[in-house]
Amino acid sequence: MKDLDQLLIPIDGFHIIVRKSVYQPSDDTYLLYDVTKKLLLRRRRVAEIGCGAGLLTLLLAQNNIVLATDLNLEAVKCVLQNLKTNKLYLNADLICCDSLKPLRESKIFDCIFFNPPYIPTEVHEDIAWSGGNEGIEVTKKFILDSIKHLKRNGKIICVLSTCMNLKKLYKFIDELGLKTIIKSKKKFFFEELYVAILERKNLYSNRANSG
């Protein structure tokens, strides 16, 4: 009975337990994981919003200090267990919360990651995948919260999907003064997935003006 309540996924030397009510690592998870691996981040302060079972959090915790959050308490417990099993417990803090809400507004992170719930839904059916109106409501919130906590040259690294109203989302991102760089894309049966890096557009202009 116990085995049916959780799944064990061995990947890249990690042993990831996925509890029953926790989002199971999927195509979107692995696409973000692969891009993150190539970023070769070392000794950075990073955050993951909506960490699920924690595969990305574990990858980041190998060489960085991580804050991981999820609204689902089972997910947070699951990540705690996975961090302990994989001996990465000392490099990560976990909070069961909405986005990054409990944090003071301080620009401390080099990178903030998320694979948001993005399926368009009128009501919030399941926090793991319901992205709200046009699939972009939760993502917009994660972006707004991330900006408050990113260093000036910090980056948001996130999953986007053609299931979302991308036209509206890109406009929203642009109006926030961010630019979108697509790092990876992959076609699946009913959608195309992207991993995007969002960073401030005017990053170098002030330096030029002052220099």
Ligand X SMILES: C[S@@+](CC[C@H](N)C(=O)[O-])C[C@H]1O[C@@H](n2cnc3c(N)ncnc32)[C@H](O)[C@@H]1O
CB of 24 to ligand X, least distance (A): 7
Nearer to ligand X, 163 or 173 (CB): 163
Nearer to ligand X, 65 or 75 (CB): 75
CB of 57 to ligand X, least distance (A): 8
Q: How far apart are CA 27 and CA 79, in angstroms?
A: 19
Burial (CB < 10 A; 0-12, 13-18, 19+), residue 105, is exposed
Nearer to ligand X, 109 or 129 (CB): 129
CB of 138 to ligand X, least distance (A): 6
Structure tokens at 209: 């003006």
Residues near ligand X, by CB under 6 A: 23, 25, 29, 49-52, 56, 69-72, 75, 98-99, 115, 117, 127-129, 138
Estimate the crossing angle of helix 137-149 against helix 166-175, to 10 degrees: 20
Nearer to ligand X, 72 or 200 (CB): 72
CB of 119 to ligand X, least distance (A): 9
Backbone angles phi, psi at 113, to 5 degrees: -110, 145
Contact (CB, 8 A) for 139 and 169: yes
